[in-house]
Amino acid sequence: MTEQEKSSETTTPTAAPAKDLSNGLTSVRIDKWLFATRFYKTRSEAAKAIAGGKIKVEGHNVKAHRPVKIGEEIEFKRDGRTHHVRVKGLLERRVGAKVALEYYELTLDADLDETTREMMEAVRKIEKQAPRMRGRPTKRDRRQIQKFKEKGFD
């Protein structure tokens, strides 16, 4: 290479190409995609949710073998919340959680208005902070409950 060619290569600014999230794929089975993007722990869990009618693509119930494409909207309910997901990239194999975030755009409770969404979020925060008892109270717990009942609310 001559010096002119070297200097022209280094001085020419090039724009960074947009990240291709299709990984050379045109479509992927929806159960594989839901598993790969970490919405479900196993592919069979994703397939059961699909078979149970809990997952809709573009507003229609689907089957596990249905191909999903970039730009499609997936809707499902989980843990009492409605998840609206827009597919930004295609995956066949499971990836790390941070990497998986690049392949979809998530909106929670999109069907609710802003004030209701904020109230629900506040309730969830309070529920997380409150201590939960599991199972039967221990002997110590029962004694504390009894003391509390005898003293009253004063």
Reported as a single tens digit per residue, the pLDDT across 34-51 is 999 999 999 999 999 999
Q: Which of 3-7, 70-74, 91-95, 110-114 has the lowest mean pLDDT?
A: 3-7
pLDDT of 154 reads 54
Q: What rounded mean pLDDT belongs to the chain?
A: 81
Q: Which two tokens stand for residue 7?
A: 């200097």
pTM comes to: 0.65
Q: What is the pLDDT of residue 7?
A: 46
Domains of the chain by start residue, with CATH: 19-151 (3.10.290.10)
* 80-94, 120-134, 138-152: least confident range: 120-134
Query: What are residue 131's phi and psi, to 5 degrees?
Result: -70, 140
Task: Using the structure block, give the residue that is written with the tokens 């029962």.
Answer: 142
Question: Tens digits of per-residue pLDDT, 11-23?
Answer: 444 444 446 677 7
Residue 66 has pLDDT above 80, yes or no: yes
Say how far apart CA 71 and CA 89 lie, in whole Å. 8
